[in-house]
A = this chain, B = another copy of it.
Amino acid sequence: MDLKKLKDLDFAEEAEILKILGHPTRLKIICGIIEQDLCVGDIGNCLDEPQPKISQHLALLRAKGIVKAERDGLNIKYRVVHPLVIKIAKILEKEKLKS
Contact = CB atoms under 8 A, between A and B. Distances in A.
Given A6-B47, A18-B18, A46-B3, A12 B24 contact: yes
The dominant DSSP class at the A interface is helix
Interface in A19-75: 19-24, 26-28, 31-32, 34-36, 38, 42, 46-48
Given A19-B22, A22-B18, A22-B19, A7 B47 contact: yes
A interface, size bucket: 35 or more
A21 B24 contact: no
A91 B96 contact: no
A84 interface: yes
A35 to B, nearest CB: 6
A90 to B, nearest CB: 10
Q: Which 8 A-B pairs have the closest CB atoms?
A: A19-B22, A18-B22, A15-B24, A11-B27, A18-B21, A15-B27, A3-B46, A6-B32
